[in-house]
Amino acid sequence: MGAAPSTPYTVERLVGTFVGDESLPLSSDFWQKLLELPFDAELPFERVHEACQLLAKNNCNTRHLAKILFHLACYLQESMSTSGVPLLVYEKAVNAVCFTSVFLKHLIESAQDGVLVLYLYLQDNESIPKSILGDQTIEILVMRNVLNFIASVDVSPNTYFLHLELLNFMIIAMSTQLLCEPSPRSNDVNPFLDAAMAQDGHLVSSVVCKLLLNYITRPRVPFNRASYAMFYDGNENSVLNRVGSAAANIVLLPFSYLISSSSEGSRNPIADSSLDVLLVLIHYRKCLVSEGYSVTENQVSASSDSLSKEDTYFPDNPYCMALDHATDCELDHVDFGDNAHSDQHVKLPFSPLFDTLGMCLSNETAVLLLYSLLQGNSTFLEYVLVRTDMDTLLMPILEALYDTRRRTANQIYMLLIILLILSQDSSFNAGIHKLILPTIPWYKERLLLQSSLGSLMIIILIRTVQYNLSKLRDVYLYTTCLATLANMAPHIHHLSAYASQRLVNLFHILSRKYNKLSDPRDNELSVAENNSIEISSLVDMSAELHIYTDFMRLVLEIINAILTYALPRNPEVVYAIMQKQDIFQPFKNHPRFNELIENIYTVLDFFNSRMDAQRMDGGWSVNEVLQMLIVNCRSWRVDGMKMFTQLHFTYEQESHPEEFFIPYVWQLVLSRCEFEFNATARNLFLADIPAKKLDNGVGNTFQNSDFD
């Protein structure tokens, strides 16, 4: 690194001085010596841990964390100069960010009772270069330069490691959220996240654009050892020996991605870390006390946990707003100069973003990004809906739902919500039935040939409901699946025989469950008065019976919508109903179902009479029945049907979605990082995910149960 080889004594002495009780000024040459330690500088894990503990003890007096952060900001500033940057500058910047990350992580996860004090300010007697710091705080200066580097400097062989380590530093610096409760409070301490939110609009826009471009382009460093002379000395492990072996575990630098010339793989360190950072940034919410709140009148401190949600508010998140207002452009035309104007929307290449998401939807973070874009960015949603290759997104989503047992509950919910959002558009519902799939190799229960994408989507949604009946038993999952089917129903076109059978059979399965619940209730009513346990059981059973009644009615409404608006195009649906017409008979007089079932029998009477008029000797074959249905569908008139308001369900977030998304994002980030956060210090994952609701547009609201 441009310095003489270090000895264990030199390393011990320099690190010991850094964590010791003597406060060294910013101008001391000690900082340059520390940050010019060569990459083969190594300390045993125990010594690194001991050094972290000493810094935690002495930092309140020395302010050495703030000082090394200041030097990191200076090196980053120097590395962004317009002229040729010496390699040594990048080296010192990499050392500074790696060194800082190790100690910062320890200080964060060692916070006592969730109370974090990092002493990110310098002593009054410290000589501070005003030209660099100005009126800024240390954390704002550092985050400005970190974000500026990420946004403005291209990933190249010389800058690759610095980009990667800065992204890792961002994750560590923002991990203060792990100390907070799931519901943000006004006294939460997230200095680096708050500093990121305080940056200029042009920088915010550029960062959002660059992080997504990293995700799209998935930059890799060409395998050329000469390009990495500063990182490679013949020992594959030497690149990980910064500060000590603990750094290899605490600060991820996956060298295996660089030394493998044959295996590309789906993971990409820069892309993955960029997406992690983006998700944390866009879902952060800063809780502030409302202006009209009076501490004196309420006798409650403005930083107290006792503040109600009505007394607080969340200002707009600039990163979320930048993503929500992003517009389309060609990949070759992405201009960071345009994105640098705060009054202009972020310009992103939607086409490669669409394709990248399609390739990566087996990963939960990609699913969350797609959800965030579809839910928040109407321009991107419109772009997706006009794509003619909708199978690019839908096939991986449907395959993931098919393989439900290998997915987390949260991933299933996100995938289903994405389908619900898409199904709100009538052109989407019509278009997916025009796209024919030659085969679906991952569908094992049955050979599906020449099935439409719409038929496959209906099959998978029904299969998900049936899986939930036996495993998850989550009301929200039922509701989301059925709401999506209801949105699709009026636009169904040539539904396949198998999908039609599954739809009719779904009513049969729900009716059997309904009958099991209703019979014991009648038998136990006579003895329930004297048995409190049985009364409690009956209350639960009655509630469950009511839920199944709602679901049965919704399935009947889905079938009715097909028969009312799309019968001539769906002879297979009529055939499936005729095959199982007996399952509707027991519910003809049910007050919740009778009008809907009356419509079904109007259809049955019409086609049964046509069959009777054409009675054939020896009975009907399947093909003959279908041919009869196709012919008579042309003369079918809807006049005799009772018309119901066409169902249309929309998805909307509850008023405090951050209580779900902030913990969820961090669960995903930590599951992907190769370092762990002290579980005993973590407070973020304690609460259940809050409920969300579906509004069907005609006044009915379905409230889901808590996420498991």
Size of the chain in residues: 708
- Residue 322 predicted with pLDDT over 90: yes
Q: Which residue has the higher pLDDT, 510 or 45?
A: 510
- Residue 573 predicted with pLDDT over 90: yes
- Residue 705 predicted with pLDDT over 50: no
Which two three-digit tokens encode residue 13? 């002495």
- Roughly how many angstroms between the first and final C-alpha of the chain, as a whole number? 51
Residue 425 DSSP label: S
Distance of CA 124 to the CA centre of its chain: 44
**How far, in Å, CA of 350 to CA of 387, rounded?**
11
In tens, the pLDDT along 517-543 reads: 887 545 454 444 444 445 445 457 778
Which own/partner contact pairs does 351-359 have at CB distance under 8 Å and 24+ positions apart?
352/216, 352/217, 353/212, 353/215, 353/216, 353/380, 354/383, 354/384, 354/387, 354/392, 354/393, 355/392, 356/215, 356/216, 356/218, 357/393, 358/392, 358/393, 358/395, 358/396, 359/266, 359/396
Paired sense of beta strands 312-313 and 288-289, if any: antiparallel
Look at residue 456 in the predicted model and tell me its pLDDT.
97
Q: Which residue has the higher pLDDT, 641 or 352?
A: 352
pTM above 0.85, yes or no: yes
Of the pLDDT bands very low, low, confident and very high (cuts 50, 70, 90), residue 40 is low
Q: In one letter, which amino acid is 81?
A: S
- Residue 411's nearest CA partner among 476, 371, 367, 372 is 367
Residue 281: Cβ within 10 Å count? 25
Which residue's structure tokens are 């460093």? 221
Look at residue 298 in the predicted model and tell me its pLDDT.
53
What is the number of alpha carbons within 13 Å of residue 609 lying toward its C-beta?
Answer: 7
Of the pLDDT bands very low, low, confident and very high (cuts 50, 70, 90), residue 653 is confident
Distance of CA 550 to the CA centre of its chain: 30
Look at residue 563 in the predicted model and tell me its pLDDT.
94
DSSP H helical segments within 198-314, as ranges?
A: 201-217, 245-250, 256-259, 269-283, 295-298
Q: Which H/E stretch holds residue 264?
A: none
Q: In one letter, which amino acid is 302?
A: A
Mean pLDDT of 285-309: 64
* Max mean pLDDT range (117-126, 213-222, 242-251, 682-691): 213-222
Look at residue 340 in the predicted model and tell me its pLDDT.
52
- Residue 696 predicted with pLDDT over 50: no
Residues 511 and 583 sit within 8 Å (Cβ to Cβ) = yes
Which two three-digit tokens encode residue 368? 């969350």
Helix, strand or coil, per DSSP, at residue 208: helix
- Residue 690 predicted with pLDDT over 90: no
Mean pLDDT of 105-133: 80
**How far, in Å, CA of 211 to CA of 214, rounded?**
5
Residues 6+ apart with CB under 8 A from 587: 511, 552, 593, 594, 597
Lowest mean pLDDT segment, chosen from 95-99, 170-174, 473-477, 563-567: 473-477
Mean pLDDT of 255-275: 59
The pLDDT > 90 percentage for the chain reads 48
Look at residue 264 in the predicted model and tell me its pLDDT.
35
Look at residue 618 in the predicted model and tell me its pLDDT.
64
Residues 43 and 247 sit within 8 Å (Cβ to Cβ) = no
Residue 106: Cβ within 10 Å count? 20
Which residue's structure tokens are 């379905």? 702
Residues 535 and 528 sit within 8 Å (Cβ to Cβ) = yes
Mean pLDDT of 173-193: 91
Q: Which residue has the higher pLDDT, 312 or 200?
A: 200
**How far, in Å, CA of 377 to CA of 400, rounded?**
24
Angle between helices 378-386 and 350-360 (to 10 degrees): 80
In tens, the pLDDT along 375-427 reads: 999 999 999 999 999 999 999 999 999 988 888 888 999 999 999 999 999 99
Residues 79 and 153 sit within 8 Å (Cβ to Cβ) = yes
Of the pLDDT bands very low, low, confident and very high (cuts 50, 70, 90), residue 433 is very high
Residues 555 and 506 sit within 8 Å (Cβ to Cβ) = yes
Residue 136: Cβ within 10 Å count? 15
Helix, strand or coil, per DSSP, at residue 533: helix
Lowest mean pLDDT segment, chosen from 55-59, 77-81, 550-554, 698-702: 698-702
Paired sense of beta strands 693-695 and 650-652, if any: antiparallel
Look at residue 695 in the predicted model and tell me its pLDDT.
47
In tens, the pLDDT along 139-158 reads: 999 999 999 999 999 998 88
Mean pLDDT of 184-210: 93
**How far, in Å, CA of 249 to CA of 228, rounded?**
21
**How far, in Å, CA of 281 to CA of 205, rounded?**
12
**How far, in Å, CA of 382 to CA of 379, rounded?**
5
Residues 573 and 455 sit within 8 Å (Cβ to Cβ) = no
The pLDDT > 70 percentage for the chain reads 79
**How far, in Å, CA of 142 to CA of 152, rounded?**
15
Which two three-digit tokens encode residue 463? 């299969």
Look at residue 698 in the predicted model and tell me its pLDDT.
40
Mean pLDDT of 119-131: 75
**How far, in Å, CA of 203 to CA of 209, rounded?**
10
Look at residue 601 in the predicted model and tell me its pLDDT.
93
Look at residue 303 in the predicted model and tell me its pLDDT.
52
Beta partners for residue 451, in sequence order: 437
Residue 683: Cβ within 10 Å count? 15
- Residue 561 predicted with pLDDT over 90: yes
Of the pLDDT bands very low, low, confident and very high (cuts 50, 70, 90), residue 135 is confident
Look at residue 308 in the predicted model and tell me its pLDDT.
67
- Residue 209's nearest CA partner among 272, 147, 143 is 147
Q: Which H/E stretch holds residue 703?
A: strand 701-703
Look at residue 131 in the predicted model and tell me its pLDDT.
64
Of the pLDDT bands very low, low, confident and very high (cuts 50, 70, 90), residue 230 is very low
Query: Which H, E and C letters describe 160-207, residue by residue?
Result: HHHHHHHHHHHHHHHHHHHHCCCCCCCCCCCHHHHHHHCCCHHHHHHH
The per-residue pLDDT of the chain, averaged, comes to 81
Q: In one letter, which amino acid is 228?
A: Y
- Residue 20's nearest CA partner among 47, 67, 55, 49 is 55
- Residue 224 predicted with pLDDT over 50: no
- Residue 663 predicted with pLDDT over 60: yes
**How far, in Å, CA of 354 to CA of 95, rounded?**
37
Paired sense of beta strands 327-328 and 347-348, if any: parallel
- Residue 625's nearest CA partner among 570, 575, 568 is 575
Of the pLDDT bands very low, low, confident and very high (cuts 50, 70, 90), residue 9 is low
- Residue 253 predicted with pLDDT over 70: no
Look at residue 419 in the predicted model and tell me its pLDDT.
97
**How far, in Å, CA of 296 to CA of 276, rounded?**
42
Q: In one letter, which amino acid is 183?
A: S
